[in-house]
Amino acid sequence: MAIQAGVEMGLRVVTIEGDSMTVIKKCQTDLVDKSEIGAYIRDIQTKKNRFWSIIFIHAHRSANQLAYILEIETLKNREQAYLVGSVPVYALRRMEIEWAKEPD
């Protein structure tokens, strides 16, 4: 998970983006979550205090196309990826193709 990567890299200030408003809201609280993803939420909640600052931001799916492309490619290739400062070339090329298709 992204938050674990931040802990392992020793980051002190992090911004976590996600396209699920429900998950973002649950991560921002300290309430116990009893849903199917409750274990993941609790893991994030317990790791929040390892950072000086942590911000959770909701990114609309339509604005999150690059993340979707990365997700599809990593699942297809059975990989795990954490991006710091750059994205793979295949993702940039795919985004350029998608942008070219969009009307002005």
**Global pTM?**
0.61
Alpha helices, DSSP H, located in 1-104: 2-8, 21-28, 38-47, 65-76, 89-101
> Does residue 48 contact residue 54 with C-beta atoms inside 8 Å?
yes
Question: Are 48 and 34 a contacting pair, CB within 8 Å?
Answer: no
Tokens of 65: 């196309």
pLDDT at 83: 67
Locate the domains of the chain by residue range.
Answer: 2-59, 62-101
- pLDDT interval class at 102 (50, 70, 90): low
Tens of pLDDT along 20-58? Answer: 889 999 999 999 999 999 999 999 999 999 999 999 988
* 58/22 Cα distance (integer angstroms): 9
DSSP letter assigned to residue 46: H
What pLDDT is attached to residue 63? 62
CATH entry 3.30.420.10 includes domain 2-59: yes
